[in-house]
Amino acid sequence: MIQEEAVTSAEHERFKAYDRLNAVADILMVCAVIFFSYFLPGGMAAHIVVYGLVLFMAVFSVMWHAVVPDRYLGPKKLIVKNLVDAALATLIIQYTGQEQSPFVFLYYLVLLAAAVSIGVRYTFMLAALITTAYVIISGVAIQRLVLEPTGFIYIWADIVSLWLVAYLAAFLADETAKARQGVAEAREKFESFSKIDWLTGLYNMKHFDVLGVQEVARAERYGHPLSLLMIDSDYLKSVNDNYGHQKGDQLISDLAATISQNARSSDSVIRYGGDEFLVVLPETDTLAASFLAERIRAAVEERGLQIGQTKANTTVSIGLASYPKDALDPTGLLARADAALRHSKQMGRNRVSAYVEGMEQQRPLHPKQPAVAAPAV
């Protein structure tokens, strides 16, 4: 039994394309049978049966493609349609000359449609059913077919051609499916890497663009607080200048690890850029966020940066803003947290500052103003 798959948007569009292709194939089959059956020898009864089958095929196709809702699109619907098509093709072949019928090609169309839409396994199963039905309507016992192959060369030629078409169609469909899967995996990896920072393994700002909107919307809907921390290393430039950029990268990686270890599982840690990080704190007000920020600050200061056999002192400055007290949207929260971070820098670094109104109006440090000393080794 086939389990109905969860159909994604892309799969739904793919099944719709298969359904349209099947509808076109139905039209061509009906037209071909009507045209060629007119020239076939036979009695009036046989013609009536054939035209009746064609009429049924046309009506069934219209009902199937136009009436059945799109939500039923999927492997089950396609398999049922292929089985019905195979049954109708068998009846048409039976009443137009069995193995001498010019409509054996209808089987090929059914197998091609099956290979493209439902895959290799079910294509071969359908080929086996079609082969069995074809042998039965030909009126030949299996024993005679095997023991006297030359006497039934037309039937064997049709059977072999059926399986060749089934194999080639299934092979090409399988290769196409593998190619499609490879493209999907490549796209998934690209999208994953585009949201992940290569150095720290944290989310980058592309992720915050989406997450910020989601969390603010959730906080607004349920009336819960939301806080944002902006964290900046105090001495990355000094580490780069004194020990090289490799140690600077190590400092950034260590900061990312320390922040992640001290954040909660419900929090999201994001590399904002350079040595700056964001921590999104759902359902957290200013007071609770201040405690968490202080824990992160103390953990960074205690950890330091290992350089050879010694450990350099490292610290961070942290700015904090909260929804709805300080801002009502992600951009506002980011701006307020940045203002609070600048305040921490101006007040001597290695501290946590919660945003208060007017902070963004404060002037930054003068370029010639002496900075705090570089970390001791």
Cis peptide bond prior to 69, omega within 30° of 0: no
Residue with tokens 């968490």: 292
Residue with tokens 């759902």: 282
* Rounded Cα–Cα distance for residues 274 and 245 (Å): 12
* Rounded Cα–Cα distance for residues 57 and 202 (Å): 58
Residue with tokens 């994604």: 8
In sequence order, what are the residues at sequence separation of 6 or more whose Cβ sits closer than 8 angstroms to the Cβ of residue 42? Answer: 96
Q: Which tokens sit at 94?
A: 């039976």
φ, ψ at 105 (rounded to 5°): -60, -20
Sign of CA dihedral 214, 215, 221, 222: positive
In sequence order, what are the residues at sequence separation of 6 or more whose Cβ sits closer than 8 angstroms to the Cβ of residue 233? Answer: 251, 252, 255, 275, 276, 314, 315, 316
Look at residue 278 and give its three-state secondary structure: strand
Q: Which residue numbers are catalytic? A: 275
Beta strand 352-354 pairing with 316-323: parallel
